[in-house]
Structure 1
Amino acid sequence: MRDPVLAWFDAHARDLPWRAPGRTPWGVLVSEVMLQQTPVVRVEPAWCAWMARWPGPADLAAAPTGDVLRAWDRLGYPRRALRLQECARAVVERHGGRLPADEARLLALPGVGAYTAAAVLAFAFGRRSVVLDTNVRRVLARTVAGEALPAPTQTVAETRLAAAYVPDDDATAARWAAASMELGALVCTARSPRCDACPVRDVCRWVAAGRPGDLHAHRRRTQAFTGTDRQVRGRVMALLREALGPVPASAVDAVWPDPAQLARCLDALVADGLVVRVEAASVDDAPTYRLPH
């Protein structure tokens, strides 16, 4: 299966800035953090602006946290931005400002999990690793297991299967990681797969079985965004990002009609270090809220 996918990738790979010849390992890590649950079309301009402003770990480590959160804007839960800055500071303190090319040292960095470490090894350093994101999981579930979608939770057997398909040499393994991921993103999509354009349609067990439905549909839950704590937190963060100074409690109260839910979300944002609550000097006054400095 590998050769057709690699050939397809050579012809159809997207021209993304974090794949450019001049990319840096740090730029690759930034892209991976931004791409978590955020589509490429939103990440690409944000990544370009981010890297122009803070091209290396030392630049981001020294930046005011409030500026980092404003630049993160609407890329998803902003806790990831704080972790990225913590990671930058750790790279500066532990590794002299250079991202390590060792899996164990990558995993020791704040905010870097198994997937991100594997992706950085492959895409930044051209090393062999098992890069298993939702796209690769879906490609292997269909072509090898004959299932519409992988299980909701990644399994040990699934990881072993993915490892078996990774080529032995570093260069080809890194290309395979990118190619299998790209195939899942562009062709073997979750909802409307383009099987007619797939380079491995002839060996796909899911196609051969008549494209059966999702075996795990009963275990998948999708949560609507409207009315959730995520929506409340997003509104609070948007208000504080746009403010020139501390925001009075009355203005924060106006972003959401449910006081109890708003209070719970504010407490969570403060606990996560994303918002600072400045207590009033007098008991007759209300607190104000701002982004961290």
Structure 2
Amino acid sequence: MYEKEITTWFKENKRDLPWRKSDAWGVLVSEIMLQQTPVQRVLPVYQEWMKRWPTPADLAKATPAEVITAWGRLGYPRRALRLHQCAKILSTELDNQLPRTESELRKLPGIGEYTAAAIVAFAFNESSLVLDINIRRLFSRLYRGEESPTSAPTKAERTEYATYMPAKNAHLWAAATMELGALICTAKKPLCGRCPVADKCQWRSLDYPSSERVKRTQSWHGTDRQCRGTIVQALRDNPKLSKRELNLLWDVPSQVEKAILTLLDDGLIEEQRKGIFSLPQ
């Protein structure tokens, strides 16, 4: 439904993104990096990453410390370790080739339902139901007349949206609807005047009713996440630091203690000897 209007718009307006010209490995890297991280922050890190590690075998040879350091400030650095684990499996067990089915992709570390569907669509040009937040927001407004989707796709949503997938070139439909949601049907201040299906949009026809759903916002300042990020960044900049030095980075000692324990559990740092910490070697 509305395939022609949306895909035509996409062909004329799509961004020139490097992973759209990459192989399956490059698509996987981009999808992991883009989880909860904006495109503009990902771009420089992605380009440097692919230059340094253009194949799974190349990344598999890196140390965890090198991988975490190269991840930079993308956030959620566990993703870097999952990608590293993926690279090792791909290089040692799968001849550097990504599986081509969603079920097989989901067996790899860090690849869930959405990422598997996205790889099938964007790496292999196959049919899959790709539902990222941009697509879901577009569909919620266009087809349902609702400003915002639920926090996660429902069974009913999946069933309904699967019926809109074209029989041919479903991968193009996925890319086009994602781009339209990201650039035009944005969460705030959507550019309805530039939308190719504005005259068909249920939300617009109802005069843009506000969603009753409470939008979740993620705080950052003073959180455990910020404390963890501060410690990881300090260990990117220094080969090793003592617990006393780590405590100087943060005002709340109990938060530092908790951050150290959870970072150790996640494999993002390691204790070289008692009270001396570094990135994993």
Alpha-carbon distance in structure 1 between the residues aligned to 2:149 and 2:268? 34
Residue 283 of structure 1 corresponds to none
Structure 2: give runs of 5+ residues left out of the alignment. Answer: none
Paired residues of 1:50 and 1:71 also in contact (CA < 8 A)? yes
Secondary structure at 1:46 match in 2: helix
4+ aligned runs moved over 3 Å, structure 1: none
Paired residues of 1:152 and 1:216 also in contact (CA < 8 A)? no
Residue 290 of structure 1 corresponds to 278
Alpha-carbon distance in structure 1 between the residues aligned to 2:23 and 2:244? 45
Residue 233 of structure 1 corresponds to 228
The offset of 1:196, in angstroms, is 0.5
Opposite residue 291 of structure 1, the aligned amino acid is L
The offset of 1:108, in angstroms, is 0.8
If the length of structure 2 is used for normalisation, what is the TM-score?
A: 0.98
Alpha-carbon distance in structure 2 between the residues aligned to 1:279 and 1:38? 34
The offset of 1:223, in angstroms, is 3.2
Alpha-carbon distance in structure 1 between the residues aligned to 2:255 and 2:56? 37
Residue 193 of structure 2 corresponds to 196
Alpha-carbon distance in structure 1 between the residues aligned to 2:7 and 2:135? 14
Equivalent residue runs for 1:82-97 within 5 Å: 82-97=81-96
**Partner residue of 1:259 out of 253, 260, 274:** 253
The one-character-per-residue Cα deviations of 1:9-57 (angstroms, maximum 9, x if unpaired) are 000000000012xx11000000000001111111111111000000011
Paired residues of 1:13 and 1:182 also in contact (CA < 8 A)? yes
**Percent identity for Structure 1 against Structure 2:** 46
Paired residues of 1:147 and 1:215 also in contact (CA < 8 A)? no
Secondary structure at 2:97 match in 1: coil
1:205 corresponds to 2:202: yes
Alpha-carbon distance in structure 2 between the residues aligned to 1:80 and 1:123? 20
1:161 corresponds to 2:157: no
Residue 33 of structure 1 corresponds to 32
Alpha-carbon distance in structure 1 between the residues aligned to 2:256 and 2:69? 21
Alpha-carbon distance in structure 1 between the residues aligned to 2:131 and 2:246? 40
Aligned residues: 280
Alpha-carbon distance in structure 2 between the residues aligned to 1:229 and 1:160? 38
Structure 1: give runs of 5+ residues left out of the alignment. Answer: 281-286
The offset of 1:246, in angstroms, is 1.6
Secondary structure at 1:167 match in 2: coil
Residue 10 of structure 1 corresponds to 11
The offset of 1:94, in angstroms, is 2.4
Alpha-carbon distance in structure 2 between the residues aligned to 1:174 and 1:224? 35
The offset of 1:215, in angstroms, is 2.1
1:275 corresponds to 2:274: no
Opposite residue 147 of structure 1, the aligned amino acid is E
Residue 98 of structure 2 corresponds to 99
Residue 182 of structure 2 corresponds to 185
Alpha-carbon distance in structure 2 between the residues aligned to 1:6 and 1:215? 31
The offset of 1:161, in angstroms, is 1.8
Give RMSD over aligned pairs: 0.9
Opposite residue 180 of structure 1, the aligned amino acid is T
The offset of 1:60, in angstroms, is 0.7
Residue 174 of structure 1 corresponds to 171
1:139 corresponds to 2:138: yes
Secondary structure at 2:161 match in 1: helix
Secondary structure at 1:165 match in 2: coil
Equivalent residue runs for 1:4-83 within 5 Å: 4-20=5-21, 23-83=22-82
Residue 151 of structure 1 corresponds to 150
If the length of structure 1 is used for normalisation, what is the TM-score?
A: 0.94
The one-character-per-residue Cα deviations of 1:125-161 (angstroms, maximum 9, x if unpaired) are 0000001000000000000000001012321111112
The one-character-per-residue Cα deviations of 1:205-252 (angstroms, maximum 9, x if unpaired) are 0000000001212xx332321110111011001100011x22111210
Opposite residue 119 of structure 1, the aligned amino acid is A
